[in-house]
């Protein structure tokens, strides 16, 4: 940072005492103005580096990095580590990432209230930020859900190994993901939630692992809310739910899975509405339920291949509430009869308390 005081003529105390009129008054005014600007500049840079926004640019000089807009960090990991070690306690931070290749990074977030912001979010920025892996695993509880939140927006995930996004640990948390593309390769998941107290929200995202035999989303958390997203699995499920509540609305689930597009086990509760569901492999299922899982399907379009598969497969003890679903002509419209009394058509007449 340049010193704005260096070029200012400063009168001596003796000259001021002699009161040489306007010259000294003007000089003092210039000096005081420059001093105010210098202090403001220091606070601005400190605010950028430590207050609320930290900047990252893959082309930056890492030796000069302090997180400011003028001297951004060269890696996302360096920015996260900086915030977690030196950030103001309790403050929220935006880590603003410029277009570039960060695919080799594995970023772990242990501090709440961090927003990883990629260039997709701003129309003024052109290009992509290629991300590797992100793991959210909070070290300590920060109180209520809003303060234990992490958000991720505007990235293309292309990890060389491991799942694109992992939410682990046991601290209750909420993770929000907006406008991201997640591309898992062989042996990878797009999303893997193992924290039983985690909530994950995804909006306007695309999740793919078309070459993988693992689920696109593996969920064993508290609540999964996916809206306006595309899920393209490989030979496994688009969603494998082991517990909690899962809600998908206005999504596309399409892939060459040889088993089922969605599985729900344990005491899972699953709600799907306004979705397009198409497992393209022969004899595949739309949904497969086990244990005491409950499913509600309303206004979905099913395109399940004809054959031995079913739109919904389950066992006695499952509850399936269904209404207003559409089945493509000449395609499968079968439900597993073993569900028995648990297969319930939704009433078309509102029930008033």
Distant-in-sequence contacts of 28-33, Cβ < 8 A, 24+ apart: 31/5
Q: Do 82 and 165 fall into the same domain?
A: yes
* Residue 231 shares a structural domain with residue 245: no
Q: Are residue 296 and residue 211 in the same domain, yes or no? A: no
**Which of residues 127 and 348 earns the better pLDDT score?**
127
H/E segment holding residue 38: helix 22-46
Q: Smallest Cα–Cα separation from 158: which of 127, 117, 190?
A: 190
Instruction: Residue 221: name the closest of 290, 277, 269, 286 by CA.
Output: 269
Residue 33 lies in a domain: no
**221 and 251 assigned to the same domain:** no
Quick one: 228 and 269 in the same domain? no
How many whole angstroms separate alpha carbon 81 and alpha carbon 54? 11
Same domain, 141 and 213: yes
In a domain, 16, yes or no: no
How many other CB atoms are found less than 10 A from the CB of residue 186?
Answer: 12
Establish if 299 belongs to a structural domain: yes
Helices (H) and strands (E) in the chain, counts: 3, 29
Residue at 303 is within a domain: yes
Cβ atoms of 56 and 98 within 8 Å: the answer is: yes
Is residue 197 domain-shared with residue 229, that is, in the same domain?
A: yes
Residues 67 and 79 in one domain: yes
Please state the domain count of the chain: 2
pLDDT of amino acid 89: 79
Domain membership of residue 5 (yes or no) is no
Residues 180 and 78 in one domain: yes
Together in a domain, 281 and 198: no
Instruction: Write the DSSP assignment of 211-268 as a string of letters.
Output: T-SS-SEEE-SSEEEEES-EEEESSS-SEEE-SSEEEEES-EEEE--SSEEEEE-TT-
pLDDT in tens, 125-176: 557 899 999 999 988 765 555 556 899 999 999 999 999 999 999 999 999 9
- Is 304 domain-assigned? yes
Residue 50, pLDDT > 60, answer no
Please check whether residue 252 is in contact with residue 226, taking contact to mean a CB–CB distance below 8 angstroms.
Answer: no
- Per-residue pLDDT of 193-211, as tens digits, reads 999 999 999 999 999 998 8
Show which of 236, 270, 294 is a domain's final residue.
Answer: 236
- For residue 11, tell me if it sits in a domain: no
Bridge partners, residue 307, by sequence: none
- Quote the CA–CA distance of 319 and 167 in Å, as a whole number: 29
Domain stops at, among 198, 214, 236 = 236
Which residues touch 112 (CB under 8 Å, ≥6 apart)? 138, 142, 147, 148, 149, 150, 173
- Give the whole-number percent of the chain exceeding pLDDT 90: 68
What are the tens digits of pLDDT across the range 202-245?
Answer: 999 999 998 889 999 999 999 999 999 999 999 999 999 999 99
163 and 142 belong to one structural domain: yes
Confidence bin at 313 (pLDDT 50/70/90): very high
Q: Which two tokens stand for residue 341?
A: 């009394």
Q: Where in the sequence is the domain holding 280, given as residue range(s)?
A: 240-346
Indicate whether 298 belongs to any domain: yes
Pick the residue with more confidence: 143 or 103? Answer: 103
Kindly tell me the burial class for residue 42, based on how many C-beta atoms sit within 10 Å of its own C-beta (0-12, 13-18, 19 or more).
exposed
Chain centroid to Cα 318, Å, comes to 31
């Amino acid at each position: 940072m340049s010193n704005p005081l260096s070029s200012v003529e400063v009168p001596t105390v003796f000259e001021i005492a002699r009161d040489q009129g306007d010259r000294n008054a003007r000089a003092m005014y210039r000096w005081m103005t420059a001093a105010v600007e210098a202090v403001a500049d220091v606070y601005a840079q400190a605010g950028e580096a430590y207050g609320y926004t930290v900047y990252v640019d893959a082309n930056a000089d890492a030796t000069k990095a302090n997180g400011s807009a003028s001297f951004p960090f060269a890696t996302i990991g360096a920015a996260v580590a900086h915030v977690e070690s030196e950030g103001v306690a309790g403050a929220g931070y935006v880590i603003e990432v410029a277009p570039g290749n960060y695919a080799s990074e594995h970023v772990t977030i242990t501090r709440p209230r961090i927003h990883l912001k990629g260039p997709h979010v701003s129309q003024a920025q052109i290009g992509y930020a290629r991300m590797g892996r992100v793991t959210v695993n909070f070290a300590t509880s920060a109180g209520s859900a809003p303060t234990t939140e992490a958000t991720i927006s505007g990235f293309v995930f292309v990890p060389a190994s491991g799942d694109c996004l992992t939410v682990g640990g046991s601290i209750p948390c909420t993770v929000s993901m907006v406008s991201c593309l997640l591309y898992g390769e062989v042996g990878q998941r797009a999303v893997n939630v193992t924290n039983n107290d985690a909530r994950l929200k995804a909006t306007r995202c695309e999740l793919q692992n078309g070459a993988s035999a693992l689920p696109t989303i593996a969920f064993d958390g508290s609540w999964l809310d996916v809206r306006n997203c595309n899920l393209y699995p490989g030979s496994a499920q688009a969603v494998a739910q082991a517990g909690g509540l899962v809600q998908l609305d206005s999504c596309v689930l399409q892939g060459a899975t040889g088993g089922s597009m969605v599985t729900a086990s344990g005491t899972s509760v699953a709600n799907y509405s306004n979705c397009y569901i198409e497992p393209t492999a022969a004899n595949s299922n739309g949904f497969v339920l086990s244990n005491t899982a409950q499913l509600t399907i309303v206004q979905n379009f099913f395109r399940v291949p004809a054959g031995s598969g079913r739109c919904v497969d389950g066992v006695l003890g499952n509850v399936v509430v269904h209404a207003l679903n559409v089945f493509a002509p000449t395609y499968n419209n079968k439900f597993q009869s073993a569900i028995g009394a648990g297969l319930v058509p939704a009433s078309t007449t509102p029930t008033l308390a």
